[in-house]
């Protein structure tokens, strides 16, 4: 079975080289590595252009955004299993086969590992949930075995190609950075598939205080609102509007959103999904 590892990157410095080297050294399964350079200006992908790691495929892009870069990489991939990874990870030996075990045993369709902070390795997250205002919250209690979680962090997640294609990949209407993994996990659950953390696999992730490229407040707000418009019922959408309407740029973001394909896509998703957002919130005890 071939695993396709897809790494979107932009201005990653030497982190990308170290991540790719870690993947090659930890190799225990048949794998291909695809790096999608989303318009880097710091030369972080030059080592791939020079042929330093000839087995790694480089795909050139510009202004794709994280979701777009992941989708472009998936379109180039040949594997039956897709693994989306950040460009600043350290992987343990045999990680891919162990991470894929819940897929092979029919327990889940999306799997993420435990994720440790590179600088504070004792700080480990076992999947993600939402708080009372839909804020990102790591799950810090280690489950004794693979367990279902509401959200898989995009820093490292595994999905079968069949399910990736069935849900339409990552959201194609997102801008830049933000909410791509949360929307993807939510969509997976609502469409009747399952997301699981594999605590026996722990990867180390560099959590940075600032992005190496500009991330605008408007793009974050757009992605957040688009996710909620695509998947939330009217009552829950009203709560979202009350929560964010005072943010700068709200009117412009809403105008752009309402002039997009969001309503058509929403109706399509509501027809196709197996569960609704009430079920999801109740299933994972999310107070929103």
Dihedral sign of CA atoms 177, 130, 186, 173 in order: negative
Look at residue 214 in the predicted model and tell me its pLDDT: 85
What percentage of residues in the chain have a pLDDT greater than 70? 100
Tell me what the mean pLDDT of segment 67-95 comes to: 97
Look at residue 169 in the predicted model and tell me its pLDDT: 98
pLDDT tens profile 156-194: 999 999 999 999 999 999 999 999 999 999 999 999 999
pLDDT tens profile 102-122: 999 999 999 999 999 988 888
Q: Is 261 exposed, middle or buried (0-12, 13-18, 19+ CB in 10 A)?
A: exposed
pLDDT tens profile 216-261: 999 999 999 999 999 999 999 999 999 999 999 999 999 999 999 9
pLDDT tens profile 15-40: 999 999 999 998 877 999 999 999 99
Look at residue 29 in the predicted model and tell me its pLDDT: 76
Cα 223 → chain centroid: 13
Q: Round to whole Å and give the CA distance between 48 and 53.
A: 6
Look at residue 189 in the predicted model and tell me its pLDDT: 98
* Confidence label for 64 from pLDDT (cuts 50, 70 and 90): very high
Q: Round to whole Å and give the CA distance between 212 and 190.
A: 33
Mean of all residue pLDDT scores within the chain = 96
Which residues are registered as beta bridge partners of 37?
9, 60
- Would you call 241 helix, strand, or coil by DSSP? helix
């Amino acid at each position: 079975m071939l695993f396709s590892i897809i790494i979107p990157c932009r201005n990653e410095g030497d982190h990308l080289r170290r991540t790719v080297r870690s993947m090659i050294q930890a190799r225990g399964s048949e794998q291909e590595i695809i790096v999608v350079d989303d318009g880097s200006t710091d030369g972080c992908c030059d080592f791939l252009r020079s042929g330093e790691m000839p087995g790694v495929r480089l795909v050139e892009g510009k202004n794709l955004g994280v979701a777009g870069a992941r989708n472009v990489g998936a379109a180039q991939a040949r594997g039956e299993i897709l693994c989306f990874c950040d460009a600043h990870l350290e992987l343990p030996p045999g990680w891919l086969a162990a991470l894929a075990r819940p897929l092979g045993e029919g327990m889940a369709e999306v799997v993420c590992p435990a994720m440790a902070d590179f600088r504070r390795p004792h700080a480990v997250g076992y999947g993600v949930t939402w708080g009372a205002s839909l804020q990102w919250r790591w799950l810090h209690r280690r489950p004794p075995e693979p367990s279902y979680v509401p959200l898989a962090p995009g820093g490292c997640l595994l999905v079968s190609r069949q399910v990736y294609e069935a849900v339409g990949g990552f959201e194609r209407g997102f801008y830049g950075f933000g909410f791509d993994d949360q929307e993807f996990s939510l969509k997976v659950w609502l469409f009747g598939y399952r997301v699981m953390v594999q605590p026996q696999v722990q990867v180390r992730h560099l959590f940075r205080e600032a992005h190496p490229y500009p991330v605008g407040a408007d793009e974050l707000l757009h992605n957040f609102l688009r996710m909620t418009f695509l998947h939330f019922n009217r009552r829950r959408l009203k709560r979202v509007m009350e929560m964010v309407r005072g943010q700068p740029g709200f009117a412009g973001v809403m105008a752009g959103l309402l002039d997009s394909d969001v309503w058509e896509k929403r109706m399509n998703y509501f027809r196709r999904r197996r569960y609704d957002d009430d079920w999801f919130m109740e299933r994972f005890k999310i107070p929103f």
